[in-house]
Amino acid sequence: MILHCDGNSFYASCEQIYRPDLRGKPVIVLSNNDGIIIALNKEAKDCGLVRGDVFFKVRPIVEQHNIEVFSSNYTLYADISRRITSIYMEYAPEIEEYSIDESFLFFNNCNWTNAEFEQIGFELKQKILKEVGIRICVGGAPTKTLAKLYNKNAKLHGGVFIYDGSQVDALLEQT
């Protein structure tokens, strides 16, 4: 089994760690030259913004909704990523960092049940939230591609969604 773990609204969530007054409020992060929205949280999406919006074009929406704006801080994001990865290493015999906020955790020689993998997923979510302050979603499946697919659907299942062979065809059809 492979678990795919992904930080939710990662850059925006990293900024909120040091600004707890912004939890539950809309946050966006801009590209290096502050021209494009590269990350945003759910609250900012609910205001009508999307990743890739040109900042000067959506500035009226940002001002109207009092959206907090940050320039990207890759040093901060890398530090938070390292903290999360160190937690993954406590659980999985092998990990692959896929991006700054995504990793695959490999459990190749484990004969655990889906319920046990689901429990690990929820433990990871709780531990990372408690120790780092970031919310993650976890998808689990026999391949990396399916693990990413299950992760994509994890928000609809409490943040953890583990492979069930009887539903994989329906999920693939929806994708």
- How many angstroms from the chain centroid is the CA of residue 156? 14
| In contact, 162 and 116? CB cutoff 8 Å | no
Q: Which amino acid makes up residue 97?
A: E
| In contact, 94 and 2? CB cutoff 8 Å | no
Of 63, 68, 94, 102, catalytic: 102
Give the 3-state secondary structure of residue 95.
strand
Active site residue 94: no
CB atoms within 10 A of CB 61: 15
Question: What are all long-range contacts of 36-39, with beta carbons under 8 Å and residues at least 24 apart?
Answer: 38/11, 38/72, 39/9, 39/10, 39/11, 39/12, 39/72
**What's 36's DSSP letter?**
B
Q: Which residues are catalytic?
A: 102
